[in-house]
Amino acid sequence: MAHQFHPSSPDVRLTDVGRTVTTWVMFPFRDHNPSQRLPVVTMILIGANVLVFAGYLSMFGNERALAQFYFTYGLVPAKLSAGSDVYAVLTSMFLHGGFMHLAGNMLFLWIFGDNLEDEMGHVPFLLFYIAGGVVASLAQYGANPLSRVPVVGASGAIAGVLGGYLLLFPKARVDVLIVLVIFFRVFTVPAWLMLGLWFGMQILGGVGADPSTGGVAYWAHAGGFVAGLVLALPVWLRRGATGFWQRTHGQPDHPETRYKIAATRVPRVRRR
């Protein structure tokens, strides 16, 4: 099916892979097993995303120029259906809709990417990351292949990292900040709980969302997460499958880091 596109007047709506506004937030900000080796690829990916963002930062003062940029380098499903701009499956993974979108994605990549890179090796992890991002893009494309709304963001690929992390390190401890209106509290939870809840939220969001109106690319998240689980499976099997979990107790294979600031405790209040 052929379509005509008019780059001079692109659709200014945007589907961000990883940005939403809710009345509550579940925000992981560190794990208890940072990598002992330098996560070179994770750092390069973070640096690449930051540099690309800096390269078009000046366009945020010109909405039309920014929309044109996203329409050219973001993943536009209708253009892909027409057989054009296939490169956007990759370029869209390095674009973001704003500073907070970028910062949140890079924090997730830093928390969960280092241990996965440590376990897989530098080059295999890079290929794993790109493959997860491609599958995530195609999952969002499949949700509405005629959409003219550009899809941007790294969190489809990062969702793949989360899926791989869940398989290899399900019992790793993660500190999560819960924000409910004016209520703030830090909890330490196992990775399987935090990542399982996150994945469930993507499925629920995808079922209830209209992919033609922009917003969060839930199906990219879900597709990337499942891709990460599948792509990490050979590593898990080579390490001994459930035997690997038994040896490592479901955590990265090195001692936990001890933090001075622990999870928040709610003080007991006596009634009068």
Q: Which domains are seen in the chain, by residue range?
A: 18-248 (1.20.1540.10)
Mapped onto helix, strand or coil, the DSSP state of residue 9 is: coil
What gap in Å lies between CA 177 and CA 165, rounded to an integer?
19
Q: What is the DSSP letter of 188?
A: E
State the pTM of this model.
0.84
Residues 91-114: tens digit of each pLDDT? 999 999 999 999 999 999 999 999
Residues 26-39: tens digit of each pLDDT? 778 788 887 878 99
What gap in Å lies between CA 236 and CA 128, rounded to an integer?
14
Q: Are 232 and 225 in contact (CB under 8 A)?
A: no
Mapped onto helix, strand or coil, the DSSP state of residue 74 is: coil
**For tokens 């809710």, what's the residue?**
22
More confident residue, 165 or 271: 165
Residues 159-214: tens digit of each pLDDT? 999 999 999 999 999 988 887 767 778 888 899 999 999 999 899 888 876 655 56
> What average pLDDT does this structure show over 58-65?
92
Task: Quote the tokens at residue 271.
Answer: 């009634």
| % helix, strand, coil for the chain, step of 5 | 55, 10, 35
For residue 156, pLDDT over 70 is answered with yes
Look at residues 198, 88, 197 and name the one whose alpha carbon lies nearest to residue 153: 88
